[in-house]
């Protein structure tokens, strides 16, 4: 079962299956080896996952020190970890330098910094939907025991993931504020200091989205799945737009039906304005027309 999950690229399920076997019996060196493999070959694995994978393969070697495939896997794991560390280091340095140059250019041109996009871009939604469709297809063919189609789907998904999806997501998911300690440790001091600058971090978050979207359409993409995903996303956006317009209309109608708040405010404002006018009018009349307070409006004193 574990091998089947890994062939389908369901590495998290493979880890869960190994967890259950190890929970029931910790005597199986093979289960530790398979769990280490699942974490090693998973493209989403973090440095913490690599550390867990190394602990697993060392446990397997303790149980079977002479097993050649376990020894080979430990070397493969360490090599993949080093490659990932070097690749991520270069990526972070590139993004920081890119952000630094971009900020300098904006200052020269007096261009204001834009806020990071909060709404998930349409292109990212499409790629995620394509990925989900591949997973659904693999599950369907596996349930129907169509191994030939399972293999074809897995191979096509691997091609899509490595040439299109992973490249986009590497930029889009990059979080300069939450780098793993092992990666931070190998970064130059200058880069670590720049990552503490909020302006640099903000600019990286702007640039990473732009870079991800620029990669959209590159690499391998199945046209039928692309068409399916695009149509579905457009339908969802259209549905959301209609729902928003409906809600706005309902709010407008409710406001028209219950204008008491507006009328009350207008009445209060009108009353206050009337008092001000009345006081001002009395002051003007007294100052320029009534004169002495003992004279009436005709200039005569009372009693005459």
pTM above 0.75, yes or no: no
Stronger pLDDT, 248 or 179, i.e. the higher one: 179
Q: Which residues contact 38 (CB under 8 A, 6 or more apart)?
A: 2, 5, 6, 11, 12, 14, 15, 18
- 93 vs 187: CA distance, rounded Å: 8
* Mean pLDDT of the region 173-199: 93
Tokens describing residue 282:
């009395």
For residue 113, what are the contacts with CB-CB under 8 A and spacing of at least 6?
103, 106, 199, 202, 203, 206
In angstroms, the Cα distances linking 274 to 265, 268, 269, 271, 287 are: 14, 10, 9, 5, 20
Q: Per mean pLDDT, which range of 115-119, 198-202, 238-242, 273-277 is the poorest?
A: 115-119
Q: How far is CA 276 from CA 78, 181, 286, in A?
A: 83, 68, 16
Does 260 have pLDDT greater than 70?
no
Please compute, for residue 275, the number of CA atoms within 13 A of its CA located in the half-sphere on the CB side: 5
């Amino acid at each position: 079962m574990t091998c089947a999950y890994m062939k389908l690229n369901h590495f998290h399920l493979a880890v869960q299956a190994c967890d259950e076997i190890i929970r029931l019996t910790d005597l199986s060196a093979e289960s530790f080896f398979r769990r280490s493999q699942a974490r090693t070959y998973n493209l989403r694995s973090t440095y913490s996952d690599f550390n867990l994978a190394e602990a697993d393969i060392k446990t397997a070697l303790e149980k079977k020190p002479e097993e050649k495939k376990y020894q080979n896997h430990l070397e493969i794991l360490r090599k993949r970890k080093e490659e990932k560390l070097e690749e991520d280091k270069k990526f972070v340095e590139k993004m920081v330098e890119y952000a630094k140059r971009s900020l300098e250019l904006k200052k020269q041109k007096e261009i204001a910094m834009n806020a990071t996009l909060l709404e998930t871009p349409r292109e990212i939604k499409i790629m995620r939907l394509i990925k989900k469709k591949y997973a659904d297809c693999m599950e369907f063919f596996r349930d129907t025991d169509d191994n030939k189609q399972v293999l074809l789907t897995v191979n096509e998904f691997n091609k899509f993931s490595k040439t299109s999806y992973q490249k986009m997501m590497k930029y889009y998911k990059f979080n300069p504020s939450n780098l793993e300690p092992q990666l931070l440790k190998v970064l130059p001091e200058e880069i670590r200091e720049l990552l503490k600058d909020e302006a640099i971090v903000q600019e990286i978050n702007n640039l990473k989205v732009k870079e991800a979207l620029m990669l959209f359409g590159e690499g391998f993409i199945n046209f039928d799945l692309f068409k399916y995903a695009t149509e579905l996303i457009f339908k969802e956006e259209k549905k959301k737009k209609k729902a928003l317009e409906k809600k706005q209309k309902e709010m407008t109608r409710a406001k028209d039906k219950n204008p008491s708040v507006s009328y009350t405010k207008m009445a209060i404002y009108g009353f206050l304005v009337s008092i001000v006018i009345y006081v001002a009018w009395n002051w003007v009349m007294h100052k320029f027309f009534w004169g002495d307070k003992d004279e009436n409006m005709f200039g005569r004193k009372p009693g005459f």
